[in-house]
Amino acid sequence: MIPRIQATDIREKLLHSNKIILLFGPRQVGKTTLIRSILADLPARHLEINADQSKYIDILSSRDLLKMRGLVEGYDLLFIDEAQRIPEIGINLKILHDELPGLKIVATGSSSFELANRTREPLTGRTWTYTLFPISLSELHQLYNRFELNDRLESLLLYGAYPEVLTMTNQADKIRHLTELTSAYLYKDILEVASIKHSDKLQRLLRLLAFQAGSEVSLNELGNNLQMSKDTVSTYIDLLEKAFVVFRLTGYSRNLRKEIVKKDKIFFYDLGIRNALIDNFNPLDRRIDTGALWENFLVAERRKRNAYTGALLKPYFWRTYTGAELDYVEEGMGQLAGFEFKFSSKTTAAPKSWSEHYPEAAFTCINRENYLDFLLEPG
């Protein structure tokens, strides 16, 4: 079992705090496995509930303390898996938390837009919230040294880092698993909860985004391709973000007219998912998108690293109308830093206009020689 970075903190919170633990993350990243492994080491007697079962849904959406008390009687801890499926889950968890202060509660959800929306207001000040991503390089580093991580780089760029994929040795099995995930399972919650009328267009949008990963995206162009309004496209992308399939980077600017901020870049949390959407698992020496894979990999891994270390850094990209650009920018804790990504061992200097406009900013070229420092060193 691959050790998860957040396990220690969640365990400590369960032992020493009475707040509700909320764990978000995409389907199949190991949320249930993580919580079960933590509970196995705790002395508390726990009740695990799968929110797909209607007998539990009826009780946990009832607002009836008597019914809920009867359900959890004799247990020290309640674990609700896929809690976003329970109507009014937030107010019911609030009732349990407030009326049964001795009961510890853990809830997981694979769609933050549903569980977060249902819990945010009722549970204000009553939760510890975590997000679990596909396996991070930092987590793999607990098992493998830097040489071994570097040896696995191409596999990570092609097949991603979902836990089950990492345990498979057969390439055909990896491809089959990733194909099944992208055939609607990964965004099942969007289709069910958001009542999207055109699921085929959601899948076509994902494919278009996969081809444009790491590039600036035009909502108008996507809308024209899909025969949808740009507002609908933006709504779909927002839902895909909240289901942890993709995320956006906005352009960095301090209100200089020359800087582009109207378009976002779209990245995938997992490259195996991205490659499955375009049906391309060719090795790197037979691809024309290696640069895009490299950029997506570094941005996504940096996102995981910052989340897990608690680094308060806001991510951006930077580009001017004259063509100067940086792949990645971070701002926070009183510092500004720009980064350029190269898949070779080459290095490069900062664009002249970046240095002129932001003389206080740091700059680093991230390449095959130093990328592990960029992704593994604590913030």
Q: What is the pLDDT of residues 255-313, one digit of tens each?
A: 676 766 678 999 999 999 999 999 999 999 999 999 999 999 999 999 999 999 999 99
Question: In this predicted structure, what is the pLDDT of residue 113?
Answer: 47
What is the rounded (10 degree) CA torsion for 132, 332, 376, 31?
0
Nearby residues of 327 by Cβ (< 8 Å), 6 or more positions away: 295, 298, 299, 317, 339, 340, 341
Domain membership flag for residue 339: no
The residue whose two tokens read 């247990």 is 75
Residues 152 and 215 both lie in one domain: yes
The residue whose two tokens read 């968890």 is 93
Our CA angle for 22, 27, 33, nearest 5°, is: 65
Domain membership flag for residue 21: yes
Measured distance CA(329)–CA(4) in Å, rounded: 27
Domain membership flag for residue 296: yes
Which of 97, 131, 165 terminates a domain? The answer is 131
Q: What is the CA radius of gyration of the chain?
A: 22
Residues 112 and 180 both lie in one domain: no
pLDDT at 323 over 70: yes
Residues 127 and 143 both lie in one domain: no
Distance of CA 238 to the CA centre of its chain: 13
**CATH number of the domain enclosing 90:** 3.40.50.300
Residue-level length of the chain: 379
Residues 74 and 46 both lie in one domain: yes
Domain membership flag for residue 365: no
Measured distance CA(42)–CA(50) in Å, rounded: 20
Beta strands in 10-149 (DSSP E): 20-24, 46-50, 77-81, 104-109, 127-131
Domain membership flag for residue 162: yes
Domain membership flag for residue 356: no
Q: Tell me the per-residue pLDDT of 343-359, one tens digit each, with 9 for 90 and over.
A: 998 899 999 999 999 99
Which of 86, 103, 131 terminates a domain? The answer is 131
Residues 99 and 118 both lie in one domain: yes
Residues 151 and 127 both lie in one domain: no
Measured distance CA(162)–CA(160) in Å, rounded: 6
**CATH number of the domain enclosing 299:** 1.10.10.10
pLDDT band for 82, please (50, 70, 90 cuts). confident
Domain membership flag for residue 351: no
Residues 189 and 113 both lie in one domain: no
First to last CA, the chain: 26
Residues 114 and 171 both lie in one domain: no
DSSP 197: S
204: nearest Cα among 228, 172, 168: 228
Residues 65 and 146 both lie in one domain: no
Residues 122 and 164 both lie in one domain: no
Residues 187 and 266 both lie in one domain: yes
To which H or E segment does residue 265 belong?
strand 264-268
Nearby residues of 167 by Cβ (< 8 Å), 6 or more positions away: none
Count of domains for the chain: 2
Q: Tell me the per-residue pLDDT of 150-165, one tens digit each, with 9 for 90 and over.
A: 999 999 999 999 999 9
Structural domain boundaries, residue 311: 137-318
Predicted TM-score of the model (pTM): 0.92
Question: In this predicted structure, what is the pLDDT of residue 53?
Answer: 83
pLDDT at 78 over 60: yes
Residues 241 and 125 both lie in one domain: no
Question: In this predicted structure, what is the pLDDT of residue 232?
Answer: 87
Domain membership flag for residue 48: yes
